[in-house]
Structure 1
Amino acid sequence: MTSSAANTPQPRNAAPGAAGVGVGALDLSDRAAIAWGALFVVVFVGTFFEFFRYQFVQATTQVQDWGHTLLIPLISGYFVYVQREKLALQRFAPSWAAFLLLFVGLAIYSASAFGPPAIQHHNVRGVGVGFALLGCLLAVFGTASFRWLWFPWAYWWVFGQTISERVMSRVTERLQDWSAIGADILLNTLGVDTDRVGNVLTVHMSDGTTHPLNVAEACSGMRTLMAFLAIGVALAALGLPRWWQRVLLVVAGVPISLFVNVLRVASLGMLSMVDSNFSTGEFHSMVGLVWLIPAFLMFLGVMWVIRNLVDEGQTPPAPRTGVKS
């Protein structure tokens, strides 16, 4: 007679002597796991409070440039959420080598916080926070699960913090030049008498008055380039199965950003004909935020074109980003 226990299916990770710690599969739907996760977030943010405080201030006081950084952690969390079933099947096998990364992260952060003024910089602290988070992920989940976690981690690390003005200006100044040239051509094509000297556009009214618009000062919209790239990477990871399609969509973020900013500058120039105050202050910032909507629609349109470049009946290769469309 066969024992009933022999017919009872055994848990996937209950085999003795298996590689790793042998704790078993992670139940990511367990309330206890959620509670531990919330506690980890509180402790992590508290440990690196100065970094997150400064980041929050930058995001809330420079919404047009860095407001998107407030959404990046949520998007990264969603990337993890869509992979929750795969994560649940991985063995809970912490990597002790991860504590070295955690130590390196804490050392970099401490050196930036208390060290020489030359390295007391937000982005240096960001490097330390990134290494520390990587160490925590490997310590908790192990290397097997990290194949699904590296992309959300990298996405937050790259797009979740402000970038040094010195670095951004080297890119945005050139793009602002192109925006001024494009807006000048567009305004004159639409019949708006406009002159350009460097980055300064001058709109000439029929009554002889003029309204100057300094693209470099009044238009910081090119610094939304990071927001455009963040949108492109997120849409590429979630909506496109092939690596080259994803690269195309991310690269498309640069011309889309430039084109939208040309339209933005041109619209500010036309609004200045109604009231010169429309090209400055809060109204100017609101116009910049409004133009993010058509920019997002452009991304969706480009993604549709890229997706239809190949036969959907073909089986795409397995995604390597850890995020499945």
Structure 2
Amino acid sequence: MDCQVVVFTSGYRLHPERGLGPLALWPVGGSTAIGRLLGLLAREGIRQVSVYSDRLHPLCLDGIRMPQGLDVRVITDPDISGTAGMLRLAVDRHAEGPIVIMPVNMVDPPAVTTLLELHKAGGADLTLFADPSSRNDLPEIYVCNSQLLCHIPTGGYWDIKERLVPELAVLGRPVRQVSLPRSPGCFYDGHSYLNAICLHLEDIAGHDPSIRLARSDQQSRIWAADDVDVEDQARIYGPVAIFEQARIGRAVVVGPTIVGPGARIDDDAIVVGSVIWPGAQVSAGSSIDHCLVATGVSAGRKMVADRQVITNSTRPARVAPAGSIRMPRPMPQQRMASGILMAAICGAAILWSFWPQWQDLWAIWQRSDEYSAGMLVPGLAAYVLWCRRSQLKDIAIQPSAWGMVLLILSQVIRFYGLYHMRSFVERSSVVLGIMGVVLWLAGKGLFGRVLTVLLFLFLMLPLPQGLHSRIALPLQGWSTASAVFGLELLGYDVVREGNVIQIGQTSVAVAEACNGLRMITAFVIISGMLALLVNRNWWEKLIMLVSSLPIALVCNTTRLIVTAIAFTLITGPGWEKAFHDLGGYAMMPLAVAILLAELWVMRLLTTAPTKGQASDIIVRPIKKDGA
């Protein structure tokens, strides 16, 4: 294949856990990350690969079995040169053809042929590849034309994204960013390594020649080497990959899990969603949940660990009592049944216990225009939970006693509000009671995932009467003043008398119901629901929520201006009332359109291109001399 391939181990985010060695040597299936990458390159027909490392991330390939027919050149840089600067040492400056640059910290590297095809189709001098599973993550995979080497200085630090791309912008050379067809599974520490392995386990196992598919059914796929030792009483729920000379006693193994070569899982142990490195041991009675057990490490007897990187220096989170053992997480059907039961108990308990408060809220929603949108909040919250059902079904239900504490606190707050006649405090206890029941029955894991939805329920409550009185009149005055200002900008001769606008012979009164509070409450609710549904960064959601207030005020002012102008053109109380109501309804789609436009702008500024699409980063015409 006519191209040069450079793989590197340096990077600004490569900070592995102490004692685990370079990321390039971390096990991926039956090999290491760099061994798997070199093997894939050899099978694609690549004949020469340059492996670059710097003084911060030295790499020794002694003991790594090199694929036949692949010439591997190891380059150790005494300095730190960056992703572009390393090409000074790794690539022949006089060579022709494209240059492929990729990191070694990947569990599922993309095919070089795919990278070259996407680069050629884009027609750019430099192509940056994005991870389709992460909107803001560039996994440092690049393809560039060899002509760009002349733009890299002969010394100093020179990074592709920080230095080379701006240099090409000045020169007018085209640069494109393209989304990879699938995630390469990049990892930078123990937790991202576990996530990448779990996501790509079936691809890793399916392409590893040292293991074969031993069992496959609707609920379980298990790959195993020929010389593994698995007890008949062991319970294994795939996907699970078991490599050579591994031993599994009368244990429970729940995938996605990899049991490395020579690893041991002793009797009565439980391993869930973990990676057991070669030569590691999970002792009898231990419970390992989403953990990385390093090579040569023995997870102590009856050790309980959750989401940890276990090395020789790791202290167990706790030790299980004698004779106790944690059962594996329930299967999907059981989780669904328990979730439905939990929801039914929660709904019945809250509805019965807080029935007087529900009646009070219903009466307010029916008679108050400002807070009538509150009746939509419970239904919208249920819809958000339904949209998140695929994310919630895999969370274990582990009841927490803290939920009972929160439930008791809600009752104390309820009686405090009732005794002191503070209606808002009394109504707030309804939401606190819901939160307490969810925490009590479902546990901290599920409670943490739905906490934002539970907080969203506070939007169904009307404001405290004191706060309502303080903002109602100022809002009414501001609405009148802004409407007068808008009408004057349009050339109308307007006279304001209090909250009455005089346009010629027509008088338009801005009533308290037109102060904009109704639109603010309704639009804040819609903005909150969109913030829960869209997959954006937290600061983007915060901007969306904060901007909902000025957008609602602008839309209310627009409605008042249009209504005042319409009243000068139409007559009759029936027509005036109909247009007044229609104008209020029409502003809500306008406000939503403004919000969606805001999200679209933020997406253009912050989000990588979608899968399979390419976007121009820099495309400028090259100026010819004398032009």
Asked whether the two chains share a fold, i.e. TM above 0.5, the reply is yes
Per the alignment, do residues 203 and 173 of structure 1 end up closer, same or farther by CA in structure 2, a change over 3 Å counting?
Answer: same
Pairwise CA RMSD: 3.1
Pick the structure with more strand per residue.
2
1:171 to 465, 471, 485: 471
Amino acid at match of 1:43: A
Residue 190 (structure 1) aligned with residue 490 (structure 2): yes
Work out the CA distance in 1 between the residues paired with 2:335 and 2:397: 15
- Equivalent residue number for residue 53 of structure 1: 359
Amino acid at match of 1:308: L
Work out the CA distance in 2 between the residues paired with 1:2 and 1:244: 49
Residue 305 (structure 1) aligned with residue 601 (structure 2): yes
Amino acid at match of 2:351: V
Work out the CA distance in 1 between the residues paired with 2:351 and 2:253: 36
> Match of 2:386, SS?
helix
Residue 152 (structure 1) aligned with residue 457 (structure 2): no
1:139-186 CA distance string (max 9 Å, x none): 0111122220110110112x1111124213433433333322221122
Shift of 1:224: 2.4
Structure with the greater relative contact order (CA < 8 A, sep ≥ 6): 1 or 2? 1
- Equivalent residue number for residue 248 of structure 1: 543
Larger radius of gyration: 2
Shift of 1:138: 1.0
- Equivalent residue number for residue 200 of structure 1: 500
Work out the CA distance in 2 between the residues paired with 1:40 and 1:280: 47
1:103 to 408, 425, 428: 408
User: Does the 8 Å contact 1:108/1:124 carry over to 2?
Assistant: yes
Amino acid at match of 1:184: V
- Equivalent residue number for residue 212 of structure 1: 508
Residue 38 (structure 1) aligned with residue 350 (structure 2): no
- Equivalent residue number for residue 112 of structure 1: 417
Amino acid at match of 2:468: M
- Equivalent residue number for residue 425 of structure 2: 124
1:292-321 CA distance string (max 9 Å, x none): 12111111111111222224259xxxxxxx
Residue 272 (structure 1) aligned with residue 578 (structure 2): no
Work out the CA distance in 1 between the residues paired with 2:599 and 2:535: 8
- Equivalent residue number for residue 69 of structure 1: 374
- Equivalent residue number for residue 555 of structure 2: 260
> Match of 1:211, SS?
strand
Shift of 1:245: 1.2
Shift of 1:253: 0.8
Work out the CA distance in 2 between the residues paired with 1:182 and 1:279: 25
User: Does the 8 Å contact 2:401/2:440 carry over to 1?
Assistant: yes
Work out the CA distance in 2 between the residues paired with 1:67 and 1:262: 20
- Equivalent residue number for residue 43 of structure 2: none
Amino acid at match of 2:360: Y
Shift of 1:44: 1.1
**Matches for 1:13-32 after TM superposition, within 5 Å:** 15=270, 18=287, 24-25=329-330, 30=336
Shift of 1:218: 5.1
Per the alignment, do residues 311 and 144 of structure 1 end up closer, same or farther by CA in structure 2, a change over 3 Å counting?
Answer: closer
2:518 to 209, 223, 239: 223
> Match of 1:291, SS?
helix
Quick one: percent identity of the two aligned structures? 22
Amino acid at match of 2:403: A
User: Does the 8 Å contact 2:475/2:516 carry over to 1?
Assistant: no
Per the alignment, do residues 192 and 27 of structure 1 end up closer, same or farther by CA in structure 2, a change over 3 Å counting?
Answer: farther
Pick the structure with more helix per residue.
1
Note the residue ranges of structure 2 that are not aligned, 5 or more in a row.
1-228, 238-251, 256-268, 271-284, 288-303, 305-324, 611-627
Shift of 1:48: 0.5
> Match of 2:425, SS?
helix
Q: Using the TM superposition, name which of 49-58 and 276-285 deviates more.
A: 276-285
User: Does the 8 Å contact 1:91/1:144 carry over to 2?
Assistant: yes
Work out the CA distance in 2 between the residues paired with 1:39 and 1:52: 17
Per the alignment, do residues 261 and 5 of structure 1 end up closer, same or farther by CA in structure 2, a change over 3 Å counting?
Answer: same
Residue 82 (structure 1) aligned with residue 382 (structure 2): no
Amino acid at match of 2:591: A
Work out the CA distance in 1 between the residues paired with 2:376 and 2:253: 38
Per the alignment, do residues 57 and 139 of structure 1 end up closer, same or farther by CA in structure 2, a change over 3 Å counting?
Answer: same
Q: How many residues in Structure 1 have an aligned counterpart in Structure 2?
A: 303
Work out the CA distance in 2 between the residues paired with 1:204 and 1:55: 43
1:238-289 CA distance string (max 9 Å, x none): 2252122112111111211111011111122123221363697676344322
